[in-house]
Amino acid sequence: MTASHPYVNQALQAAASPSEYDALSGAKQVCRRILDKIPKHGRAPAALRAPQQQGSEAALPQEADEAIDLFRQGRLEEARAEAASLVARYPRAATMHNLLGSIEAGLGHSLRAIGSFRRAVALMPELLEPKLNLAEALGEVGRQEEAADILARATRSHPDSADAHDRLGAVLQALGRHEAAAESHRKAIDLNPRSAQAHINLGRALSALGKVEEATRQFAKAARLESDSGQAFSCLGAGLTGLGRPRDGIKACHRAIELSPGNAQAYVDLAEGLEGVGEIESARQCLERALALKPDHAGAHSALCGLHRRAGDEDGFRAALEKARRQCGEDDPRIRFRIAQLAETEDAPLAARRIAEGIPDGRLPAIMEASRLMLLGRVMDRQGDHAQAFELARRANDSLGATPLARNLDPAAFLRDIESLTASFAGFTEKPWQDPPDAPSDAPVFLVGPPGTGGGFIDAVLADHPSITVVEEKPMVARMRALIDGPADCERLEALSPSELEAMRHAYYGELNRHAGSGNAGAVIVDKLPLNIIHAGLISRVFPSAKFLFAAQHPCNSVLACYMDDPSLDAVTANFLDLETGATFYDRVMRLWSTYRQMLHLDVHVLSCEAPPADRRQTVRAMLQFLDLDPSYLLIERGTTRPGWWENYREQLEPVLPLLESWARHPA
């Protein structure tokens, strides 16, 4: 085993500084021996140069060599004993106290290390390295304010030290003082433009300020300066993903892992990119790998909790959060936010509010902070404070709209694509193609609807029915769509050859088997992804016998649900950062659906997801008959709906009511 700890770097470089002991020992020679014994030691060359300037040429006792050798071999207890012996012999030698502190830190004796570093500082207050070591040791035991004070004084006494400015910035960053942190890192870069670490640290501060474009440029500079830095490529990958370029982010993170296989953060950053391209299981595996490397990685724990929650896996969410609390405690704001989310899930809104309100502003990443505001808004909604609930949602959406990811999305382009699809079908008066006589008759059922559709009690019936398998929010249709170059408009769909149609069915079922397995013979497969409504033309072309369940609810409920929902930014959801663009998106989707129904004669059953309790039995019976299932199965106790919820926000919805109420009169 080879010992490695940051304090060794500082302690060894401190040999370059004069003291009572150094005047007799020759710091220059110890640094030469360091280079001989640890050839890749990065800081020894700087330490070697300094004694030449200071003129210290005496011999260093061999006992110091023994301590260094023992440390290098991982024999830390023996190294500590040697260093303690040297301190006893030379009690006023600052560098010996500094070295002993480094070894104590390597042993995990943080308080002893702090004591040794304090003595080194007291003996030679003009030395920089013991101050840097002391600040780092204080930071590791959570005493960041003390560390910041020491480093601020170090930058005043050593204004030309890039290292001091950079470390001060790192501590300020930990304290949430992101602007001040960025300023310190900029000073470090001014003093040493080729410091990759300073560029990385500046990028992190800028990321915390929401300046992801600038941050990513800093990470790219760091990667150019140190092309073998796994840390630089990991940060670059996270930045690219944050800019809406997850595939580029994934590539950078893979490079980071090649360079530093033990870098847990690289796996966390890779997981974010993988989730961005829909590779949820791969993302989960990356987070598990990160936690295997660093079991107390709060960011990885939080990300894993979020992954399970977004997938609707409540048991997985609970288990992941329990593990996070066990490994990390509850001090990290990200873990506390996940605890608030669990409280909301478990129908404890007051506890969720108390925990979420206790997280200081600015301590969460931007998207997580928006989620916190949305959570508080939902609690306010339940408590009847609708004005405050809407205000919290507005703040959350405004902050999301200002993020680099939102600025790099083009929601209007998605809207134009929908309008183009509508126009391509609107020119026909009858179905534009003939269905092949050998088309399969065992197509899945597609549950579709406009954005914001919630199934309520219908979801419970589908999930509980023994003859139904629900596959929720999975990309089977997307796999088919990916086989078409360009728009899937009427002309292109009409031109699809039998072999192309067969390839699409193969792609669909291949993806379906990934998520539902192959043990569902005889079951009715319900593909539940409401926004597949946009691809109903493609679905009808590939599966001519497909049945559609249209989940109908009041359009104001749908749009408002999207506006006040947890943020998940993409080209669709970005339309709902504003009520007016959200209402327009709803209108365009419904126009396309109406055109599909008119031209393609789709087999559709309209579900009233907001049916009052007295009507639910008949609603479920009609749905099961449409699916050719036994209508005697009428478990409808579970699941809730809020038909008139939007009325609480009538004032806020006033500008879009005329557009949406036209669809309320003609829901399907």
**Segments of the chain scoring below 50 in pLDDT:** 1-60, 636-639
Answer yes or no: is 572 within a domain: yes
Residue with tokens 């290098």: 72
Residue 370 sits in a domain whose CATH number is 1.25.40
pLDDT at 429: 76
Q: Are residues 378 and 514 in the same domain?
A: no
- CA-atom Rg of the chain in angstroms: 31
Is 560 part of any domain? yes
Residues facing 472 on adjacent strands: 528
Residue 204 in any domain: the answer is: no
In a domain, 198, yes or no: no
Q: What share of the chain is helix, strand, coil (3-state, %, to 5)?
A: 65, 5, 30
d(CA 158, CA 151): 10
Residue that the structure tokens 């003859």 belong to = 467
User: Which among 618, 635, 633, 315 is positioned nearest to 457, based on CA atoms?
Assistant: 635
Nearest to 27 by CA among 127, 111, 149, 142: 127
DSSP string spanning 298-315? HHHHHHHHHHHHHTT-HH
User: Residue 405 burial by CB count (10 A; 0-12/13-18/19+): exposed, middle or buried?
Assistant: buried
CATH of the domain at 111: 1.25.40.10
158, 185, 200 — which closes off a domain?
Answer: 158
Could you please report the per-residue DSSP string of 526-593?
EEE-GGGGGGHHHHHHH-TT-EEEEEE--HHHHHHHHHTSPP--STTGGGGGSHHHHHHHHHHHHHHH
Dihedral angle over CA of 653, 655, 658, 660, nearest 10? -50
Give me the residue label for tokens 């989310």.
Answer: 341
Looking at the structure, tell me whether residues 536 and 611 fall in a common domain. Answer: yes
Residue 229 lies in a domain: no
- Domain match, 7 and 125 both: yes
Whether residue 343 is found in the same domain as residue 492: no
Distances (CA, A) of 331 to 74, 140, 230, 370: 32, 15, 28, 20
Question: Amino acid identity, residue 209?
Answer: L
DSSP 228: T
Spatial separation of the C-alpha atoms in residues 193 and 520, rounded to whole Å: 61
Q: Is 525 helix (H, G, I), strand (E, B) or coil?
A: strand
Which among 443, 498, 439 has a CA at the least distance from the CA of 476?
443
Contact status, residue 7 vs residue 83, Cβ threshold 8 Å:
no
Q: Which two tokens stand for residue 585?
A: 């998106």
Backbone dihedral region of 225: left (phi > 0), alpha (psi from -120 to 50 degrees) or beta? alpha
Same domain membership, residue 604 and residue 491:
yes
Whether 153 maps to a domain, the answer reads yes
Query: Residue type at 139?
Result: G
Long-range CB contacts (within 8 A, 24+) of 336-340: 337/302, 337/364, 337/368, 337/371, 337/372, 338/301, 338/302, 338/305, 338/306, 340/372, 340/375
Mark whether 553 and 658 lie in a shared domain.
yes
- H or E stretch covering 548: strand 547-552
Residues 476 and 581 in one domain: yes
Instruction: Answer yes or no: do 362 and 416 share one domain.
Output: no
| Bridge partner list, 526 | 445, 470
pLDDT at 668: 60
Residues 6+ apart with CB under 8 A from 202: 169, 182, 185, 186, 188, 189, 215, 218
Tell me, what CATH number does 555's domain have?
A: 3.40.50.300
CA distances from 47 to 11, 380, 422, 539 (A): 10, 60, 71, 70
Judgement on whether residues 392 and 471 belong to the same structural domain of the protein: no
Domain-terminating residue out of 137, 158, 179: 158
- Tell whether 504 is covered by a domain: yes
pTM of the entire structure?
Answer: 0.76
Condensed to tens digits (0 to 9), the pLDDT of residues 555-587 reads: 999 999 999 988 778 888 899 999 999 999 999
**Category of 223 on φ-ψ map: left (φ > 0), alpha (ψ -120 to 50) or beta:** alpha
The residue behind tokens 């873990």 is 335
What local confidence, expressed as pLDDT, does residue 594 receive?
94
Do 560 and 529 share a structural domain?
yes
Q: CA–CA separation, 162 vs 523, rounded Å?
A: 67
Q: How many CA atoms lie within 13 A of 528 on its CB side?
A: 17
Per-residue pLDDT tens digits for 186-196: 999 999 999 99
Residues 369, 419 within the same domain: no
Provide the residue range defining the domain that includes 90: 1-158
Q: Is 635 left (phi over 0), alpha (psi -120 to 50) or beta?
A: beta
Total domains present in the chain: 3
Are 4 and 48 within one domain? yes
Beta bridge partners of 551: 607
Contact 30, 64 (CB under 8 A): yes
Query: CA torsion sign, 122 to 123 to 127 to 131?
Result: negative
Reading phi first (left if > 0) and then psi (alpha if -120 to 50, else beta), residue 462 is in alpha
Cβ contacts of 214 within 8 Å, gap of 6 or more: 203, 206
The residue among 120, 135, 158 that closes a domain is 158
| Residue 188 forms part of a structural domain | no
CA distance 516 to 444: 12
